[in-house]
Chain A
C-alpha cells in the first residue's frame, strides 16, 4: 500500500511539474515542430496501447474475455454515434455487465 501511495504522489508531482514547466520555461525551448508533434502524439500512442493491453491481455498472456470485448465494441459504436464521454463509458460497462449477468464471460 505504501508503494501505491508513492506512485500516486510521484504521479501527482510529475504531472504538476510538467504543467508548471509549460508556464515557466521560455517558449523557444519547445519550439521545435518535432518536439511539439511528439508531445501531441504521445497520448494517442500510449492511450491506445493501454486500451489494447487492458482489453486483450492478463498478466503476460493474451486473454480474450467476450464480455469485455463486447463492452469495448459498444464503446466504439457509441463513439461513432458521437455520444458524450460518460454515455460511452456507461454503454461499455453496461454491455459487459449485461452479458455477464446472462452467463457469458
Chain B
C-alpha cells in the first residue's frame, strides 16, 4: 500500500497532448460502467446519454443513478448529485488563473472542468502547455466517455437481469474507487468517509431514501472545521480512476494510458 511510486524523473516531463489523450481514453472507457449502471437503475438510454453529454462529471452521474435505482426521492438524488459537483467549482477557480478563458469560449470550456482536465492542466509547466493539455484531455475524454456511456447503456438494456451480471455492485464499487486515492492520502479523509457512511446508514431507517446521503455531508463539514489547513498549490488527485499506470507501473508519466487495453 505504501510502496513508493517508481517513476523515473525523466518520464515525468509533462507532455500535454499525450497525457491528455492517454488519460481521456483510460478514464473515458469507464463510461461503460456508468451507462450500464444507469440503465440498470431504470434510466433510459437517452437519459443516461443526456447526463454524460450535459453533466459530464462521473461521480454526480453515478450518484443520481444510484438514488433512482434505490427508488429514492428524485429531489434528494438531484441535490446529492449537484453537491458532489461542487468540487468542480474549486477546479474552475484554479483553472481560471491558468487558462484565462474569454467570454463566449468560456461557456464551452466550463463543461470540461473536471478532475482529469484539472490534473493534466495543472501538471504542465506553462500556460500554453496547460491550455493544450486541457483541450486534449477534454476532447478525448468527452468523446470516449459519451461513446462508452452509450455502449454500456445499450448493452445493459439487452441483458435480462442486471443482478445476474452483478451490475448492482457497479455503483458501490465505482464510488469506492473514486475516493480511494483520497482515502490513501489522509487520516481526516478516512475519518470523514467512516463518519459519512455511519451517518447515512444510521439515518436510513428514519429518512426518505436519498436524504441520508445528503446528511452525510455534515461529516465533511465537521472535517473541514476540524482541519481547515490545505496546501494552496495542491493539485487535486485524479479521483475518477485509480491512476491508470499504477497497476503495472510502466515507466511512463503518471497519466499515461494503458493504451493496449483501451484500444478497440
Complexed CA–CA distance, A49 and B218 (Å) = 11
B174 beta carbon closer than 8 Å to chain A = yes
| B30 interface neighbour in A5, A6, A60, A89, Cβ under 8 Å | A89
The distance from the CB of B224 to the nearest CB of chain A, in whole angstroms, is 4
For the side of the interface on B, what is the size category? 35 or more
Complexed CA–CA distance, A72 and B170 (Å) = 9
Instruction: Decide: A16 and B111 in contact? CB cutoff 8 A.
Output: yes
A104 beta carbon closer than 8 Å to chain B = no
Interface residues of A in 89-104 (CB under 8 A from B): 89, 91-98, 100-101
Known pairs A41-B192, A54-B66, A87-B247; A22 contacts B82 (CB<8 A):
no
Complexed CA–CA distance, A78 and B231 (Å) = 30
Q: Write out, one digit per residue, whether chain B residues 219-232 have a CB within 8 A of any chain A CB (1) or not (0).
A: 11101110111100
Residues of B within 8 A of A88 (CB): 173-174, 176-177, 242
Residues of B within 8 A of A82 (CB): 242, 246-247
Residues of A within 8 A of B44 (CB): 1, 4
Known pairs A12-B55, A22-B96, A47-B178; A53 contacts B204 (CB<8 A):
yes
Number of A residues contacting the other chain (C-beta, 8 Å)?
A: 84
Complexed CA–CA distance, A91 and B55 (Å) = 27
Residues of B within 8 A of A8 (CB): 43, 47, 50-51, 55, 64
Instruction: Decide: A84 and B223 in contact? CB cutoff 8 A.
Output: no
Instruction: Decide: B71 and A21 in contact? CB cutoff 8 A.
Output: no
Instruction: Decide: B82 and A14 in contact? CB cutoff 8 A.
Output: yes
Q: Write out, one digit per residue, whether chain A residues 29-59 have a CB within 8 A of any chain B CB (1) or not (0).
A: 0101111111111111111111111111111
B135 beta carbon closer than 8 Å to chain A = no
A sample of 15 cross-chain residue pairs with beta-carbon separation below 8 angstroms, ordered by A number, consists of: A4-B42, A5-B47, A7-B77, A16-B110, A27-B97, A40-B90, A45-B193, A46-B63, A53-B201, A75-B169, A85-B174, A88-B174, A92-B173, A93-B173, A100-B166
Considering the complex of A and B, which 4 residue pairs feature the smallest CB-CB distances, nearest first? A22-B92, A45-B196, A96-B166, A93-B166
